[in-house]
Structure 1
Amino acid sequence: MSTQSSWGEGNFSRFICTANHGFAPYAQEELRRAFGAVKSTVVVPGEILLAGLPVAEEEVSKKLLEESPTFLRHIQPVQFQESTEKTEEALDKFVAFVLNRSELTGERVVLQVRKTESAFWEENAASLKQLLTDKLHELNCEWVIRDADFVISVFVSNDALYAGISKPEQNLSDWSGGAIRFQKEEGQISRAKFKLLEAEQTFGIDFTSFHKALDIGAAPGGWTSFLLERGLEVTAVDPAKMDATLLQSPRLTFLKKNAGDVRFHDGEFDLLVCDMSWSPKLMSRLVSDLLYSLQSGGTAVVTVKLLHKKPLALIKEVIDTFERSRMQIQRSKQLFHNREEITLYMIKY
């Protein structure tokens, strides 16, 4: 049965909500805290929810953009839902739904298609996207990959097709499902570099504006390599070995020591980064002890490992520790390239 008109209107709206695998319950809790009651159905265990919220669609996006949830990575409105028992009929109804949306005329539009493993469409999502694009040939728009004015979001499960049309910012990410992808480079030291690349885009940090960086727990050098590429002077601290290719850089100072055994000048750095696989409480204390070396107005980017059954309480405790050290939290976010962790973006006041 098709539901095209009522779900996104009035004081009730529905969304396909996506988090990193295993963290959907915390994304659901963020929705509950923001909007009160949440009626949710699990679509992909631990990762994707179909959430009904007691507020209008435009209010959901507005509030989430203001509050910047940590675990909720991506949302897409559900303005259309159709059973896929009769596949061709479902696809035709979807096409009619899109062609009826006059705001798409003449605009730059991206079609984003996702599917579950058990979806009625057995081929990959790219082939379904191509089919739907072909069926939408009458739509008078400019099809694009990036920098769209509108997103047509399609999600197909084993028994239903869900769709909605929105502006990219309303989805919290303009990447399909919030899954931002980077190409692995030849000679790349580690995939940890992707975390800083994503932080750069997500938080809008211009790393080229910094001059001197301190990388705590730097080995083997994924984040150090990124900072060197951005033109910074980097002091890297770690008792383990750094990648040999990095040691040739004249802008790198490597201290093969524990972070607790180093001393710097007050305000020596304008950027501090840390991606250590340590207990989050120990990490926050260790980093806090070195914040004297970060100048006022300086930036810190730190990952917090969530080795805890109550991550929301743990994050609050870590944030409290940093705030006592004169750090202002700009964003707390589980990026797509984070695993069992989140990334904190902070500025020292």
Structure 2
Amino acid sequence: MSDWIGTANHGFATLAMEELRRLFRDIKFVQLRAGEIFRMEVPLSREEIMSGLLEKEPVFLRHIQPIDRTLPIQGNADDLQALSELVRSARMRCEGKTIAVHLRRAENTKFLYSAADTKAVLDAVLTELGGEPEMQSPEMICSIYAGVDDLYVGWGSPKEQLSDWPGGAVRFQREEGQISRAKFKLLEAERAFGLRFETYREALDIGAAPGGWTHLLLERGLRVTSVDPAELHSSLKAYQRLNYLKKNASDVKFPSGTFDLLVCDMSWSPMQMSKLVLEKIDALSKNATAIITVKLMHKKPLQTIRDVIERLESEFILKKAKQLFHNRDEITLYLIKK
């Protein structure tokens, strides 16, 4: 038996729980924050759960945290003292490792301390134990969820927790002159799928306007062909490596094998989008990468996802399907051309 806390994008916890039910029999859930955070009890060991999740990672499960210890909240300084003693008792997990401390709080928790204050105290303890506090790419994470009456504490690697951000909530800093929020989606996809866009040569951006994804790829040094009947942001005209076609993507053709990267973030129906992407398959080189968002416009999102993936798999190998933190009513697909 093992206990966990799972997180999904707001409004999508029900779909995450449905996927988990299909993975693990006799799983039980309790909602901690409606539509987003839930506790689950599974009649399997931690190792069995991790094996199942890593073999077939759910699309809508953004983050998962084991519950190794539960501490009652006193509502005073004793809570930080209890957390400090718990961390001290885990010396073997800490010594010689880079470690991040993550705290998330329920809105009505009795725990008095902020994430910054909690981290400052526990970082001092970790240093005392021979660990090295580290927020970016740590080897180990101490995750704490402050519920209404209890602190749920668990340890795990970023891989085991599906993210090295608290609750999987990936934050990027907005830049001056940024064209659109959509850039964050592509930045997160790059991170989540282990990609490095600067290693690609020639990209095709379908449905590019206003140009957030195009801008990121140009910044990475790629040559980019952007197709959209709407206008791109005027700042992109400064890039000589941009080829902008103010047309519908269905009306343009390209020489065979031109592009080694295709990106598509169109607000079209999922099946129209997949049809358009498949029309451009000959323009992609062998083993080209595709990053595509699928808009979940219908009442049966799991069926929509299955239908789109089945259609795209006629020409692509699906590497991963995931609802990223910066996705709204959509998911992101990472595919490789066969």
Structure 1 residue 51: deviation in Å?
0.8
Amino acid of the residue matched to residue 26 of structure 2?
A: A
1:279 equivalent among 265, 269, 272: 269
TM-score (norm 2): 0.95
Query: Is residue 331 of structure 2 the alignment partner of residue 338 of structure 1?
Result: no
Query: Is residue 37 of structure 2 the alignment partner of residue 48 of structure 1?
Result: yes
SS in structure 1 of the partner of residue 234 of structure 2: coil
Question: Identity over aligned residues, as a percent?
Answer: 49
Residue pair 2:3, 2:40 contacting (<8 A) in 1 also: yes
Cα-to-partner distance string for 1:275-298 (whole Å, 9 max, x where unaligned): 001111111111111222112211
Aligned residues: 337
Distance in 2 (alpha carbons) for counterparts of 1:165 and 1:251: 46
Query: Is residue 307 of structure 2 the alignment partner of residue 321 of structure 1?
Result: no
Distance in 1 (alpha carbons) for counterparts of 2:336 and 2:125: 49
Structure 1 residue 185: deviation in Å?
1.2
Amino acid of the residue matched to residue 314 of structure 1?
A: T
Cα-to-partner distance string for 1:314-340 (whole Å, 9 max, x where unaligned): 00000011012x111011011111111
> Structure 1: any 5+ residue segments left out of the alignment?
1-11
Residues 120 and 135 of structure 1: CA distance in aligned 2, closer, same or farther (over 3 Å) = farther
Residue pair 2:75, 2:111 contacting (<8 A) in 1 also: no
Residue pair 1:82, 1:161 contacting (<8 A) in 2 also: yes
Distance in 1 (alpha carbons) for counterparts of 2:217 and 2:128: 47
Amino acid of the residue matched to residue 36 of structure 1?
A: R
Distance in 1 (alpha carbons) for counterparts of 2:312 and 2:155: 39
Distance in 2 (alpha carbons) for counterparts of 1:135 and 1:215: 48
Amino acid of the residue matched to residue 115 of structure 1?
A: R
* 1:140 aligned residue: 130
Structure 1 residue 146: deviation in Å?
2.0
> Structure 2: any 5+ residue segments left out of the alignment?
none
* 1:194 aligned residue: 184
* 2:71 aligned residue: 82
Structure 1 residue 87: deviation in Å?
4.0
1:204 equivalent among 171, 182, 194: 194
Amino acid of the residue matched to residue 18 of structure 2?
A: E
- How is 1:86-235 mapped onto 2 (pairs within 5 angstroms)? 87-103=76-92, 104-122=94-112, 124-133=114-123, 138-235=128-225
Distance in 1 (alpha carbons) for counterparts of 2:202 and 2:127: 52
Structure 1 residue 89: deviation in Å?
4.1
Residues 227 and 136 of structure 1: CA distance in aligned 2, closer, same or farther (over 3 Å) = closer
Residue pair 1:62, 1:170 contacting (<8 A) in 2 also: no
Distance in 2 (alpha carbons) for counterparts of 1:253 and 1:272: 14
SS in structure 2 of the partner of residue 344 of structure 1: strand
Structure 1 residue 14: deviation in Å?
0.8
Residue pair 1:61, 1:171 contacting (<8 A) in 2 also: no
Distance in 2 (alpha carbons) for counterparts of 1:182 and 1:227: 17
